[in-house]
């Protein structure tokens, strides 16, 4: 069974004898570590700067209610990749939970994403699918999509002004702390409108939540005699102690690894405000978006609704308000910001990453390590591919490591 120790117990000799160092214990790092330990039987050391395993997927029980809370925002597992689904089912059983979201605009609540129910409710009239398509197409004709100059024009060209004003403008202004007229059109590629009454948020083949929670799932991935986990360890405090040439998978911030030599990549971050409220059901659903600009938070999570099968208290519940803002230097990075400046910096870091693989056997992966937004299933799928194509061959026969950030 993997042991969890802290940085106070680390000495230079502790790094000897490991075949692979993994920096970060999120899903990408854990998947690579598990594959290396279980397939070729290599010894793996995971270094985690936080005091817990699992990165942003970590969950914990709220002490007053016992309700499982996702500490870094709601995590919903879904995938159409059968290999990923079969892989994760080795470590967790999944419920049949299907995610549904609702949106509060003014004094009304709507089913979301936009579907036939929302269109009928919003416009106060029943529409057939063809009538709804015709209505939205007419309203969207105000702007040409290809000629849109900003996010506002792009959104209106996709769904029309009435739906944009109600559901997109205020929400995006809060998300980006910027008037959508001043945001680039390429921030959105599409705004899905469903001309059916389906309100399932994801369309993937497989969906569910781990029966015993995310932390139990994550711990089981690391539960292998060839895996050692060190918590409360900042890789940059100890990397000089790691024997030169030791294969390393780095999943921390890409720019931090290179000491910001090409500049600081931009990120969005999230703030969470947790509250226990004296009612058995606060909002009747797991996630409620608040689309109006004058409401400071973007959404409220009520975590009891993720696991209706559990015996949670009937007289109290946990809600978490979520706020979005630009990340400062010391904030937790969540979402990469796709601007020309960031893309230019990223290209320079890509070249540095390729050199680092050749010269020091370091491979970069995960959301932070590649500067890509990755859902959980994407991070796991990427890790499986990286292990198959890079890490596994290197550990097996010393094949050169490819430092490309693409898989």
Domain membership flag for residue 286? no
Q: Are residues 125 and 90 in the same domain?
A: no
Q: Are residues 36 and 173 in the same domain?
A: no
Domain membership flag for residue 305? no
Mean pLDDT of 184-193: 85
Count of domains in the chain?
2
Note the pLDDT tens digit of each residue in 124-154.
999 999 999 999 999 999 999 999 999 999 9
Domain membership flag for residue 280? no
Name the pLDDT band for 1 (thresholds 50, 70, 90).
very low
Is the pLDDT at 405 greater than 80? The verdict is: no
Task: Give residue 242's domain range.
Answer: 12-61+82-94+209-265+336-397
How many CA atoms are closer than 13 Å to the CA of 375, on its beta-carbon side?
14
Q: Are residues 252 and 122 in the same domain?
A: no
Domain membership flag for residue 307? no
Q: Are residues 132 and 178 in the same domain?
A: yes
The CATH number linked to 57 is 3.40.50.720
What Å distances lie between residue 217 and 210, 310, 326, 389, CA to CA? 7, 17, 31, 25
Q: Are residues 340 and 261 in the same domain?
A: yes
Q: Are residues 88 and 120 in the same domain?
A: no
Output the six-digit token pair for 215: 């932390």
Note the pLDDT tens digit of each residue in 52-94.
999 999 999 999 999 999 999 999 999 999 999 999 999 999 9
Q: Are residues 250 and 156 in the same domain?
A: no
Note the pLDDT tens digit of each residue in 349-384.
999 999 999 999 999 999 999 999 999 999 999 999
Please report, rounded to a whole number, the percentage of residues in the chain having pLDDT higher than 70. Answer: 96
Q: Are residues 43 and 138 in the same domain?
A: no
d(CA 281, CA 149): 43
Q: Are residues 90 and 120 in the same domain?
A: no
The CATH number linked to 123 is 1.10.3110
Name the pLDDT band for 2 (thresholds 50, 70, 90).
low
12: Cα separation from own chain's centroid: 34
| Residues carrying an active site annotation | 190, 194, 268, 299, 322, 373, 375
Is the pLDDT at 229 greater than 90? The verdict is: yes
Q: Are residues 214 and 257 in the same domain?
A: yes
Domain membership flag for residue 293? no
pLDDT at residue number 11 = 63
* Domain stop point among 128, 153, 187: 187
Domain membership flag for residue 351? yes
Name the pLDDT band for 248 (thresholds 50, 70, 90).
very high
pLDDT at residue number 3 = 55
* Sign (positive or negative) of CA dihedral 85, 30, 73, 266: negative
Note the pLDDT tens digit of each residue in 106-128.
999 999 999 999 999 999 999 99
Note the pLDDT tens digit of each residue in 301-358.
999 999 999 999 999 999 999 999 999 999 999 999 988 899 999 999 999 999 999 9
Q: Are residues 249 and 343 in the same domain?
A: yes
Of the chain, the end-to-end C-alpha distance in Å amounts to: 31
d(CA 222, CA 229): 8
* Domain stop point among 125, 152, 187: 187
* Domain stop point among 138, 156, 187: 187
Mean pLDDT of 259-284: 97
Residue matched to tokens 């009520």: 302
pLDDT at residue number 4 = 63
DSSP for 312-346 reads: --SS-EEEEEEEEEE--TTSPP-EE---HHHHHHH
Domain membership flag for residue 66? no
What pTM does this model have?
0.93
Give the chain's mean pLDDT.
94
Domain membership flag for residue 108? no
Q: Are residues 86 and 121 in the same domain?
A: no
Note the pLDDT tens digit of each residue in 167-187.
999 999 999 999 999 988 888
């Amino acid at each position: 069974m993997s042991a969890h120790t802290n940085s106070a117990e680390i000495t230079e000799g502790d790094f000897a004898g490991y075949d692979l160092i993994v920096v970060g214990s999120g899903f990408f790092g854990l998947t690579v570590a598990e594959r290396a330990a279980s397939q070729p039987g290599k010894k793996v050391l995971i270094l985690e700067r936080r005091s817990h395993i699992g990165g942003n997927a970590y969950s914990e029980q709220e002490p007053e209610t016992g309700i499982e809370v996702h500490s870094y925002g709601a995590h919903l597992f879904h995938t159409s990749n059968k290999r990923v689904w079969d892989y994760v089912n080795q470590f967790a059983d999944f419920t049949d939970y299907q995610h549904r979201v609702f949106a509060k605009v003014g004094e009304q609540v709507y089913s979301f994403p936009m579907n036939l129910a929302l269109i009928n409710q919003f416009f106060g009239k029943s529409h057939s699918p063809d009538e709804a398509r015709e209505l939205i197409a007419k309203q969207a004709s105000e702007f040409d999509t290809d000629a849109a100059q900003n996010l506002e024009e792009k959104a209106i060209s996709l769904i029309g002004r009435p739906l944009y004003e109600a559901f997109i403008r205020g929400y995006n202004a809060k998300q980006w702390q910027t008037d959508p007229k001043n945001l680039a059109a390429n921030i959105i590629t599409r705004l899905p409108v469903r001309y059916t009454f389906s309100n399932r948020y994801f369309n993937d083949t497989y969906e569910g939540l781990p029966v015993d929670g995310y932390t139990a799932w994550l711990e089981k991935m690391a539960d292998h005699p060839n895996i050692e986990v060190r918590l409360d360890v900042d890789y940059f405090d100890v990397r000089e102690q790691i024997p030169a040439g030791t294969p390393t998978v780095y999943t921390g911030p890409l720019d931090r690894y290179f000491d910001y030599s090409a500049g600081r990549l931009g990120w969005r971050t999230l703030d969470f405000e947790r509250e226990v409220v004296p009612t058995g059901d606060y909002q009747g659903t797991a996630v409620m978006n608040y689309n109006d600009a004058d409401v400071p938070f973007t959404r409220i999570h009520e975590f009891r609704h993720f696991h209706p099968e559990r015996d949670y208290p009937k007289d109290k519940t946990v809600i978490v308000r979520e706020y979005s803002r630009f990340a400062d230097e010391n904030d937790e990075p969540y979402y990469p910001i796709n601007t020309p400046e960031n893309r230019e910096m990223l290209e320079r870091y890509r070249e540095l990453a390729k050199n680092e693989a050749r010269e020091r056997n370091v491979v970069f992966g995960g959301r932070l390590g590649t500067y890509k937004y990755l859902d959980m299933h994407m991070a796991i799928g990427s890790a499986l591919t990286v292990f198959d194509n890079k890490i596994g061959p290197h550990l097996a026969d010393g094949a050169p490591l490819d430092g490309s950030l693409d898989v």
